[in-house]
């Protein structure tokens, strides 16, 4: 099948993404890294952010090789729901997924140390870096009456007026995150630019955090998923796709 020619906009966005991803994360230390590792006293909503393991194939050096993409994803539901059956992540985390016989796995961890794993399947996505989001459905819903949490979606447009944000994911270079084994989060970072398909922030995240949660806290301290982590430079700039940009493409059961 002939490959369709990419539009100039798509080529530009792809080049920008590759340039961002090619930058090596700056060496981080406990002194200069603002991220914290999840601990028993951390906010309860962090329990909604899990690991995503995506098997696939990609071409390297002219050869097709097995590839495992390790990203983050967030369990989402309507406020007050008893169960959650959907997760949100980044589209590029699924880009190389082409073997339906191999399951995509989503893993949650509780503060107590217990874990929960579910097989998931893709339902919808933006389809490219200009709309870097994807919705997946769990093979078995997660009950929310125990240690597990799910986040409601933030229906507002993320802009500079939002104030502080929290960003959470399994960054592999974060010292506190033990090479992605533990969830890390950056509290109180801010939006620096909200224009086009992405929103830029001064939050810190890097490889492994893609697909993770961008959270806004309301006046009562309630957490709302306002975006999906997309790309960044591994230091002082991380960009995300606002939920408001794709909310209309999500199931009615997730919308307020």
54, part of any domain: yes
Q: Is residue 131 part of a domain?
A: yes
Q: What angle do CA 100, 255, 82 make, to 5 degrees?
A: 80
Return the percentage of the chain with pLDDT > 70, whole number. Answer: 82
Domain finish residue from 116, 150, 184: 150
Neighbours of 200 (CB within 10 A): 17
| Same domain, yes or no: 70 and 108 | yes
| Between residues 240 and 198, the one the model is more confident about | 240
Higher-pLDDT residue of 198, 203: 203
- pLDDT (mean) for 1-21: 41
Based on the fold, state whether residues 117 and 175 are members of the same structural domain.
no
Whether residues 225 and 134 share a domain: the answer is: no
Decide if 229 is inside a domain: yes
Q: Please determine, for residue 29, whether its predicted confidence score (pLDDT) is greater than 50.
A: no
Task: Give the model's pLDDT for residue 131.
Answer: 96
Q: How many domains does the chain have?
A: 2
Domain of 166, CATH number, reads 2.40.10.10
Does residue 157 sit in the same domain as residue 191? Answer: yes
Residues 6+ apart with CB under 8 A from 9: 130
Q: According to the model, what pLDDT value does residue 27 have? A: 40
Per-residue pLDDT at 256: 65
In a domain, 2, yes or no: no
Residue 122 lies in a domain: yes
| Of residues 33, 255, 241, 5, the one with CA closest to residue 126 | 241
51 and 72 in a common domain: yes
Domain housing 60: 47-150
Least confident range from 35-39, 46-50, 79-83, 153-157: namely 153-157
pTM, two decimals, is 0.85
pLDDT in the model for residue 10:
45
Residue 176 CA to residue 179 CA, distance in Å, equals 8
- At residue 193's C-alpha, the angle toward residues 188 and 194, to 5°, is 105
For residue 255, pLDDT beyond 80: no
Q: Is residue 129 part of a domain?
A: yes
189: tokens are: 């970072």
Please tell me whether residues 182 and 124 are part of one structural domain.
no
């Amino acid at each position: 099948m002939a490959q369709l020619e990419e539009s100039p906009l798509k080529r530009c966005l792809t080049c920008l993404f590759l340039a961002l991803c090619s930058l090596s994360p700056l060496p981080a230390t406990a002194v200069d890294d603002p991220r914290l590792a999840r601990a028993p006293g951390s906010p309860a909503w962090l329990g909604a952010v899990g690991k995503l393991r995506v098997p696939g194939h990609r071409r390297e050096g002219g050869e097709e090789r097995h590839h495992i993409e390790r990203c983050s994803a967030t369990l989402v539901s309507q406020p007050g729901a008893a169960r959650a059956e959907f997760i949100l992540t980044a589209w590029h985390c699924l880009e190389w997924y082409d073997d339906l016989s191999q399951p995509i796995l989503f893993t949650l961890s509780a503060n107590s140390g217990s874990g929960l794993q579910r097989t998931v399947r893709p339902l919808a996505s933006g389809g490219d870096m200009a709309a870097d989001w994807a919705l997946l459905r769990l093979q078995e819903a997660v009950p929310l009456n125990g240690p597990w949490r799910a986040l409601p979606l933030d229906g507002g447009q993320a802009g500079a007026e939002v104030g502080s944000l929290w960003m959470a994911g399994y960054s592999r270079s974060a010292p506190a995150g033990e090479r992605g084994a533990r969830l890390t989060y950056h509290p109180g970072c801010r939006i620096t630019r909200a224009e086009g398909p992405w929103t830029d922030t001064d939050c810190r995240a890097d490889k492994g955090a893609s697909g993770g949660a961008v959270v806004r806290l309301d006046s009562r301290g309630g957490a709302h998923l306002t975006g999906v982590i997309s790309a960044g430079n591994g230091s002082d700039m991380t960009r995300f796709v606002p939920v408001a940009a794709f909310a209309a493409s999500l199931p009615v059961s997730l919308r307020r």
